[in-house]
Amino acid sequence: MPAQAVATAFQRHFGYTAPLLVRAPGRVNLIGEHTDYNLGFVLPAAIDKEIYFAVGLNSGSEIRLVSHDLNDCCTVAIEQLHRTDTQWANYLLGVAAQLQKRGIVLAGFDCVFGGNIPVGAGMSSSAAVECGLAFALDKLLGTNIDKMTLAHVAQKAEHEYAGVMCGLMDQFASLFGRPSEVVRLDCRSLEYEYFPFDTQASRIVLCNSGVKHSLADSEYNKRRQECERGVHILQQHYPQVKSLRDATLEQIEAHRGEFDDITYRRCRYVVEENQRVLKACDDLARHDLAAFGQEMYASHAGLRDDYEVSCEELDALVEAAQQVPGVFGARMMGGGFGGCTINLVAPDQVDNFIRQVGAAYQQRFGRELETYQTSIVNGVSEAIVSEQVAPNGQ
């Protein structure tokens, strides 16, 4: 049991007991990719792949961090908070630095964390790490920060300490998730609405391409710049357009000649994807999974052809999924360039789906396909250690 494991490791490392235990989930995104930083719509959910934390104040002036999974540690003085060469630690230090920037007086703390969110698979392990610590520090320091602000703290940590200019989706989903519901966030107004997700009708299955993406790898930030370029062009004619969320296809078409081909296609994708999210939410509310799935396929096509963030493996996984009976929809998920596809599959077809897509993947790429059947869970919360620890201590 992970909460128990980090609690035990905490005691071993730091010699005192009763840390605060927190769990922070990763996320899936049903539709609405690369729309968050364009202030559009996303439809994520928190899932049962989680990071567990044991955190305690240490009455000193140091931050002492232990990665249980990497068997590595990192110590930094509060007075000299800085980015380090230890990548995993930067997500945590970045959160502490953001709190400090907001005028919160930090205290020395110890933290052990570990979990089961595959890294680089598009399930937002980094957001879970950030959000879990932000939540824990808020509790321990008694700062009573609201969840939306915590999401922004975590997002800023990613910007400044990991160098990825991400939107708000991942941090929002990790903090605001609710069991059995997906949540549509309007990234401009920050209004959100929950929609029930009926697992009797469909399961969420993730297929991991095994291709490790590195969002920091400039391409993600480059997409952001390309979108800003598009906004800049549109603003000359439509001053009310502050982000691609405000733009329409008609506006883009009317000035197509002023766009270079890449900027044109990036902008078109974002505007269409926002429309797809709204349409897909209507489909979901009407329990029309077939229609919802069509939006997912269209989303993938846009990400592949216009936004150009897919890869051969992801495309092959979506194509293979499309051949299997009982699949409503499939698309690449998250930042792209690797990671997972998300598939909505009829419950009685899940085993067959895994078999068929796995076989197709094996045949084409000579690699075994890792899949995850996920369920939708609550956002970041305190973790409960069950009384009964299994004999092997897990």
- DSSP letters of 81-106? ----S-HHHHHHHHHHHHHHHTT---
48 as an active site residue: the answer is no
Q: Which one of 55-63, 129-137, 167-175, 358-366 is the stretch in contact with ligand GLA (CB under 6 A)?
A: 167-175
Site track 321-340 with ligand GLA (rule: CB under 6 A), x = hit: -------------xx-----
Q: Is 31 or 360 the residue whose CB approaches ligand GLA more closely?
A: 31
Is residue 95 within 8 Å of 136, Cβ to Cβ?
A: no
Is residue 235 within 8 Å of 227, Cβ to Cβ?
A: no
- Does position 56 interact with ligand GLA (CB under 6 A)? The reply is no
Cα angle for residues 285, 287, 290 (degrees, 5° grid) = 120
Is residue 331 within 8 Å of 366, Cβ to Cβ?
A: no
Binders in 170-189 for ligand GLA, by CB under 6 A? 170
Minimum distance of ligand GLA from residue 340's CB (angstroms): 11
Q: Is 21 or 244 the residue whose CB approaches ligand GLA more closely?
A: 244
Minimum distance of ligand GLA from residue 125's CB (angstroms): 10
Write the CB contacts of 113 (distance below 8 Å, at least 6 apart in sequence): 6, 51, 52, 53, 54, 65, 66, 67, 68, 92, 129, 132, 133
Q: In angstroms, rounded to a whole number, what is the distance separating the alpha carbons of residues 169 and 157? A: 14
Among 138, 170, 283, 306, the active-site one is: 170
Give the one residue of 23, 34, 152, 304 binding ligand GLA; rule: CB under 6 A: 34
Is residue 376 within 8 Å of 198, Cβ to Cβ?
A: no
Report the DSSP beta bridge partners of residue 196.
Answer: 181
Q: Which one of 33-41, 54-62, 194-202, 366-374 is the stretch in contact with ligand GLA (CB under 6 A)?
A: 33-41
Tell me the C-alpha to C-alpha distance, in Å, between residue 159 and each of 97, 108, 167, 344: 12, 24, 9, 32
Give the one residue of 2, 33, 299, 310 binding ligand GLA; rule: CB under 6 A: 33
Minimum distance of ligand GLA from residue 146's CB (angstroms): 20
Minimum distance of ligand GLA from residue 166's CB (angstroms): 3
What letter would DSSP give residue 344?
E
Residue the block writes with tokens 């059947």:
373
Q: Which one of 68-76, 162-170, 244-252, 276-284 is the stretch in contact with ligand GLA (CB under 6 A)?
A: 162-170
- DSSP letters of 354-365? HHHHHHHHHHHH
Minimum distance of ligand GLA from residue 304's CB (angstroms): 14
Site track 118-157 with ligand GLA (rule: CB under 6 A), x = hit: ------x---------------------------------
SS3 breakdown of the chain: % helix, strand, coil, rounded to 5?
45, 20, 35
Is residue 137 within 8 Å of 99, Cβ to Cβ?
A: yes
Give the one residue of 167, 210, 302, 379 binding ligand GLA; rule: CB under 6 A: 167
Minimum distance of ligand GLA from residue 387's CB (angstroms): 37
Q: Is 10 or 220 the residue whose CB approaches ligand GLA more closely?
A: 220
Q: Which one of 164-172, 270-278, 286-294, 312-320 is the stretch in contact with ligand GLA (CB under 6 A)?
A: 164-172
What letter would DSSP give residue 160?
I
- Please report the beta strands in 43-149, taking only residues with DSSP state E, as ranges in sequence order: 44-57, 62-67, 72-77, 109-115
Q: Is 45 or 354 the residue whose CB approaches ligand GLA more closely?
A: 45
User: Catalytic amino acids?
Assistant: 170
Interface with ligand GLA by CB under 6 A: which residues?
33-34, 36-37, 124, 166-167, 169-170, 334-335
